Structure 1
Amino acid sequence: MLTGSQIRILPLLAAAILWPAFAQAEEPKVGQPSEKTDRPVWTLTLENDLTNDTDRYFTNGIRLSRTSPVGDVPESVIDFVQPLIGTVGTVRWTAAIGQNMYTPSDITVSNPDPKDQPYAAWLYGSFGLLNDLATGDGRRTQTSVQLSLGVIGPSAQGELAQKTVHEVINSPEPQGWDHQLHDEPAVLLNLERRWVVPSETIFDDLRADVSPHVGAALGNVFTHAAAGLTVRFGKPPKFDYGPPRLQPHTPGSEYFAPPGDDDDAIGWYLFAGVEGRAVARNIFLDGNTFRDSRSVDKELLVGDLSAGAVVTFGDVRLTYVQVMRTKEFDGQEGPSMFGGFSAGYRF
């Protein structure tokens, strides 16, 4: 049952979910890669706290995704989701499989502190659409909608995955997986809209831009409303959606276009981002939905600070991001710190 604080968050969620349906935009403009030159993009993304020499809270996530070229989405599918994505521009579909893992601050004890982050794993598959719309004067909006289906609990194979990796890298064996969340079907709908403005020249041929975004998640995994922005500096390629991130961020940034005639052979940029979330539900803190399990008192407002670099050359894009996430529950020892790597290739 939702608490009073959670109920007050729901109008924000409704506004974030319904807003794209009523947003107005001009008709699509020419500028995206053509169907003849566009190709699918495969991306492997890994986020782990090993980069910060910790092993707690959100400790590991991995996802393999494919983003289609333009022209691969049936009109019937586009018509079905148009109330969520608004005016239709250039549409691609995305599909992915992934796994997230969460552990308490001390993995060496067999019976973890019940006031600490519960052990949990989430295994999922997802499918979504990414709508890129030119709105004039070089401005664009990017709207993504994604549905993830999977399982949380022992069937997500978090214990096997973590113990195997720790054996390989000679880290302490986690002892408390017997107290993980129970098996539960996992359903999650993500929505996000991002505004992209043309990069402005700062000096020489180096440019900078700012991309704000809003989003929402709805399901028994996460329910929250989000808002944030990303600042970039360097030589960002056209049609770059920003650094790929794992959920609770909305996936959809895996696509990148090839260099155009007026682009440099190598594109690169440094970036810094911030996102705030008003959280109504986080199953990895609230515990199982339909049966008793370990849980903690979560924070209703959570923020992420991130910074990193992106390099694109030919058909390859490499990304690194460092993240600091504010405390997510009462009694948490400190912020979560983790790094993320991704490698994308246009096949």
Structure 2
Amino acid sequence: MAIRSWLPLALLALPSAAAHAAATCTGSALREHPPAVNFRVDNDLFGGRHQDQGYTNGALLTLVSPNLRDYTDDPCLPAPARWLNRRLERLHPGRFEQQNMIVSIGQGLFTPTDRSRADLIEDDRPYAAALLANFGYNARTGNQLRTTQLALGVVGPAAQGKQVQDAVHRLLHDEKFKGWQHQLHNEPVFRLLHERMWRRPARTPAGWSWDAIGHGGAALGNLTTHGNAGGELRAGWKLPDDFGSSPMRPAGENTAPTRGGRLPGWSGHLFLTADARWVLRDITLDGNTFRRSHRVDKRHVVGDLGYGVALIHGRWKFALARYHRSREFEGQRERPVFGSFTLSRTL
């Protein structure tokens, strides 16, 4: 079945699986951390004028499970998830106080700066699109969290990047990018990521307060290979008991296990996040692994600085963020700037 055929089915299947979890789970699992569906959109147009380049657009739909007794037999997970987890058992963490699972599907698009050129722009980043499914396992003890995530997918024309971008630009009556014939070739990709987080919690979680969250980890795969470290600061009213509000973090945006559930009424906070990466491989810059393709000389040290706001009321949460990234390759004209918004709903 072509990707353009099964992608809509997958997007419909994730909310259906979340509804199944809500229907079959009972007790403290639902009270402390009910199943949720998150939808995130990243776009460099949110970063300001003349920013339609680099990491130009991304979309991610994520299903978050309730807190689980285990990953293979808990009735809060639908049967296909339990079947999958038996085959990914090596990725599961050991015994912790709380644990949950996430499943997501998403697409990312990468383009050079000049959309009008149909020739190969050798000194700018390659055209690339990635379509990925991600399976994540979070485990929490107190104010420490471990997350292990496996991403599987494809880079190249099969990821449907040109078609998606053309459709969006047609809808917005915007000029199309003309060089997609030079995009990376089709290649199956994977990435295994592990990250650990430490949180200094709010002293008064029901009122005005602040917290701090540190993180460090690494990723291995032909999609990306890197090591990273950073942190996040948050300040506001009724801070959530989770591990960050930055949508770009592997366990951010209320996907990690929580204690006590969300506080009643309105809550909101500001957040500031930073991350530094030592990059050994990035297929969107290095080009295809086994075939000749367009590539650029990447920089091995890359940093992100992000800031945003999150609002929560009842079952709904909305987060808006903006990110500034250092230059990713030699000769890059502008530092990338892009925005992100996330809409979440617990079931």
> TM-score, normalization: structure 1?
0.82
Q: Which amino acid aligns with 2:197?
A: R
8 Å Cα contact 2:99/2:138 also seen in 1: yes
Residue 73 (structure 1) aligns with: 71
Corresponding residue number in structure 2 for 1:153: 156
Q: CA separation of 1:185/1:262 partners in 2, compared to 1, >3 Å: closer, same or farther?
A: closer
- 2:230 paired residue number: 228
* 1:48 matched to 2:50: no
Residues 69-125 of structure 1 deviation map (CA, whole Å, 9 limit, x = unaligned):
122622695997578745522111110110000000111110142110100000011
Change (3 A) 1:226 1:256: closer
Corresponding letter in the other structure for 2:241:
F
CA distance in 1: counterparts of 2:207 and 2:171, whole angstroms = 45
Contact 2:245 2:252 in 1 (8 A): no
Q: Is the 8 A contact 2:241 2:259 kept in 1?
A: no
> What residue identity is the alignment partner of 1:106?
D
Amino acid at match of 2:110: Y
Counterpart AA for 1:164: A
Preserved contact between residue 259 and residue 314 of structure 1 (Cα < 8 Å) = no
199 and 126 in structure 1: CA distance in 2 versus 1, 3 angstrom threshold: same
1:207 to 198, 206, 209: 209
What is the rounded CA distance, in whole Å, between the counterparts of 1:267 and 1:81 in structure 2? 37
- Tell me which residue corresponds to 1:241: 243
Aligned residues: 307
Worse-superposed segment, 262-271 or 217-226? 262-271
In the aligned structure 2, how far is the partner of 1:313 from the partner of 1:234? 14
Q: Equivalent residues in 2 for 1:84-233 (5 A)?
A: 85=93, 87-134=95-142, 140-200=143-203, 205-233=207-235
RMSD: 2.5
Q: Is the 8 A contact 2:242 2:258 kept in 1?
A: no
- Alignment partner of 1:35: what SS? helix
Bigger CA drift: 295-304 or 111-120? 111-120
* Aligned-partner Cα distance in 1 for 2:259–2:243: 14
Distance in 2, matches of 1:260 and 1:131, equals 16
Q: CA deviation at 1:196?
A: 1.2
Tell me what 2:55 maps to: 58
1:4-19 → structure 2 map (5 Å cutoff): none
SS of residue paired to 1:185: strand
For 2:139 and 2:87, how far apart are their aligned partners in 1? 12
Q: Deviations over 1:123-179 (max 9, x none)?
A: 011111111211xxxxx1121111111100000000000011001111111100000
User: Structure 1: which 5+ runs fail to align?
Assistant: 1-32, 135-139
Once the 2 structures are TM-superposed, how far is the Cα of residue 239 of structure 1 from its aligned partner? 2.4
Whether the aligned pair in 2 keeps the contact of 1:237 and 1:259 (CA below 8 Å) is: no
* Letter paired with 2:42: E
The residue type equivalent to 1:73 in the other structure is Y
What's the offset of the Cα at 1:198? 1.6
Shift of 1:252: 5.1
Contact kept? 1:101, 1:120, Cα under 8 Å: yes
**In structure 2, how many angstroms separate the alpha carbons of the residues matched to 1:259 and 1:149?**
31
CA contact (8 A) 1:244 1:342 kept: no
- In the other structure, the counterpart of 1:297 is 297
Post-superposition shift, 1:237? 3.4
Instruction: State how far apart, in whole Å, the 2-side matches of 1:262 and 1:56 are.
Output: 38
Paired AA for residue 70 in structure 1: N
Q: Report how far residue 182 of structure 1 moved.
A: 0.3
Q: Which amino acid aligns with 1:148?
A: A
Q: Aligned partners of 2:188 and 2:261: how far apart in 1?
A: 48
Q: Give deviations 1:282-333, integer Å, cap 9, x for gaps.
A: 0000000000000000000000000001111111110001000000000001
**Residue aligned with 2:29, SS:** coil
Q: C-alpha separation between the residues in 2 aligned to 1:293 and 1:164?
A: 26
User: Which deviates the most, 334-343 or 66-75?
Assistant: 66-75
Alignment TM-score, normalising by the size of structure 2? 0.82
